[in-house]
Amino acid sequence: MVREVLRMAMALVVRRCAAKSIVALAAAAVAAMCALTFAPAEASATRLKDLVNIKGVRGNSLQGFGIVTGLAGTGDSKGTGFSNQALANLLTRKGLRLTPGQIRSKNIAVVSVTAELPAFARNGDRYDVVVSSIGDAKSLQGGKLEITALEGIDGEIYMIADGSLITGGLSASGGGSSATVGTPNVARVSNGGRVERELNLDFSKTGVITLSLKVADFTTASRVAQAINYALAQEAATAVDSRTIRLKVPPAWKGRPAELIATIERVDVVPDRNARVVINERNGTIVIGEEVRVRTVAISQGNLSIEIKETRDVSQPLPFSLGETAKLTDTDITISEENGKLSVLPGNVSIGELSRALNSMGVSPRDLASIFQALKGAGAIDAEIIIQ
């Protein structure tokens, strides 16, 4: 491929420079080769579908309360009165009238059932549901979820759930000892939820599709609008703010919103990211973005350690004296400080150069957290410092 491009470039130069000298011809050929060899690489691009959400296209959380039966003595205890009441209500609806006091069972547990209703879910579609105990059940292993209605925030029933539970944990006891692996009080029912009511979603009825960036940024929003306009060959998208892009459905795409979205989702956009340093103080993890740059600065780091040692002793009085035995504490304090090396970092260094410089100083991850905060305070770094 490279040879073919060079051959074409040489042919073009020959046609345009037929009346010129051999020296000019050679210079043009070298220039063409250099332009091909040292052309800058295209920046890393991301599909538009990975950068934005479509307004109105989202899932909805559903919740309900039900009963798990078939537990091997690991259900709610007698002290949990609502489990017996729930079972009594269930049996009453089936024509068997019992009071909560008549029920003596450890094989049931009252649970919370949750599920996510995706956008455009249709009647009869099945999805996983999550079951978690709200009583004092020891384990839900081996249980079965009885038919449970799952409601939305509007109080309407959108899904019916039931089925056998799959737990990710295990609990066993015997002989006065017990062992628990994972979380046996939370389980999942695979394809246990069946959609009974559909959501009415028509996100394109106004003729405008609104895109929302997952990470707000004015530059990225502008690039997204430009990329969409280039792909559609018309001015249809406009960046409203740092997060919102408004797309007017072109006349050629009227009545075909799904095809329009499928077309723009494949558009590649180079997002612009803020320079950030994320520090997790709990485990010492530090993540540095590739956009981070450091100005010329000198860094010196040394460890200061203080050791306090106490020795207890007893003071005995002389024989036949009036003194008393006393307890004494001897405290010895030692302060030591390592001599820190002064390292100079040149301006506009990359992440790799910064890492090598800090590693050569022998700093630990927790020392790095302090160094980055000090760099921020000194004005040597413009990155956003996020401490978790």
User: From first to last of its 388 residues, what are the pLDDT tens digits of the chain?
Assistant: 434 444 444 444 434 444 444 334 334 343 333 333 333 334 578 899 999 999 888 889 999 998 898 888 888 877 566 676 777 777 777 776 766 666 667 788 889 999 999 988 999 999 999 999 888 888 888 899 999 999 999 999 999 999 999 987 666 655 555 666 667 889 999 999 999 998 887 766 778 899 999 989 999 999 999 999 999 999 999 999 999 999 999 998 888 888 999 999 999 999 988 788 887 777 777 787 777 777 776 766 665 444 556 677 777 777 767 777 777 767 666 655 555 555 565 666 666 676 677 676 666 766 777 777 777 777 777 777 887 7
Q: Are the beta carbons of 372 and 280 closer than 8 angstroms?
A: no
HEC-encoded secondary structure of 307-340: EEEEEEEEECCCCCCCCCCEEEEEEEEEEEECCC
Which pLDDT does position 30 carry in this prediction?
34
Beta-bridge mates of residue 328: 313
Two tokens at 323?
Answer: 């003194």
CB count within 10 Å of CB 176 equals: 5
Bridge partners of 149?
Answer: 160
Q: How many CB atoms lie within 10 A of CB 377?
A: 10
- CB neighbour burial string for 349-360, b if at least 16 within 10 angstroms, e if fewer: beeeebeebbee
Q: Report d(CA 115, CA 161) in Å as an integer.
A: 9
Instruction: Note the pLDDT of residue 48.
Output: 92
**What pLDDT score does 169 carry?**
65
pLDDT at 3: 43
Is residue 116 within 8 Å of 184, Cβ to Cβ? no
pTM: 0.62
C-alpha 349/C-alpha 295 separation (Å) is 7
Q: Report the b/e string of 41-73 with b at 16+ CB within 10 A.
A: eeeeeeebeebbebeeeeeeebebebbbbebee
